[in-house]
């Protein structure tokens, strides 16, 4: 995703691959501009215990371990 300099429109472009294939996850935009992907299921519908963050302009996602209590 990038915003046109004029601010009139947004353009979606392919980004980096996730570190873990996931579906059924949640995504949110963080206050610092990063995007976070939480939870979901991987291949075989196995629940994932990781989250991934991506900073616009970065070439890769960063993996975070989720803590369940």
pLDDT digits (tens, 9 = 90+) for 6-46: 666 766 778 899 999 999 999 999 999 999 999 899 999 99
Q: Return the higher-pLDDT residue of 57 and 67.
A: 57
Q: Measured between alpha carbons, how far is 4 from 19 in angstroms, rounded to an integer? A: 28
Q: Is 7 left (phi over 0), alpha (psi -120 to 50) or beta?
A: left
Q: Return the higher-pLDDT residue of 65 and 23.
A: 23
Q: Return the higher-pLDDT residue of 48 and 5.
A: 48
pLDDT reported for residue 2 = 58
> Is residue 1 classed exposed, middle or buried when 0-12, 13-18 and 19+ CB atoms within 10 A define those classes?
exposed
What is the length of the chain? 69
pLDDT reported for residue 3 = 59
């Amino acid at each position: 995703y990038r915003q046109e300099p004029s601010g009139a429109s947004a353009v979606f472009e392919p980004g980096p691959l996730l570190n873990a294939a996931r579906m059924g996850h949640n995504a949110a935009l963080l206050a610092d501009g990063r995007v976070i992907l939480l939870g979901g299921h991987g291949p075989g519908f196995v629940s994932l215990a990781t989250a991934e963050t991506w900073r616009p302009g970065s070439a890769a996602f960063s993996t975070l371990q989720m803590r369940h209590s």
